[in-house]
Amino acid sequence: MVDSIATVGRNGVHDFILLRSSAVILTLYTVIIAGFFIVTPEVTFETWHGFFAQMSVKIATLLAIISLVVHAWIGVWQVLTDYVKPAFLRGSLQFIFSVTLLAYLAAGFIIVWGV
């Protein structure tokens, strides 16, 4: 079997599974949030706060945030490797996107847990 050193431990099957599983998690989270709006006659701050105070919703939100970051990272990586040919520019853009996604992940954790 021939290993490609360009993948750095990743392969297309791994990316495919991560993309599909993160898409399923994001779809389920969307259904949960939409269901909340459908069954709640009047959304006030108290009902919204009570909904997000539940541990199950916090866990679902964190899974959705992690899934969003994974989904975005793989998508950005694929687009940049396909369309940005200069290595320095591609590396710089990947670094910027990586830092931005890590900041979003950290902000999500801080917001959900109220640290």
Please give the residue that has the higher pLDDT: either 26 or 12. Answer: 26
pTM: 0.84
Burial 55-86 (b: 16+ CB within 10 A, else e): eebeebbeebbebbbbbebbebbeebeeeeee
Residues 81-111 pLDDT 10s? 999 999 999 999 999 999 999 999 999 999 9
How far apart CA 91 and CA 62 sit, in angstroms, is 28
pLDDT for the residue numbered 4: 52
Residues 21-76 pLDDT 10s? 999 999 999 999 999 999 999 999 999 999 999 999 999 999 999 999 999 999 99
Region 12-113: CATH code: 1.20.1300.10
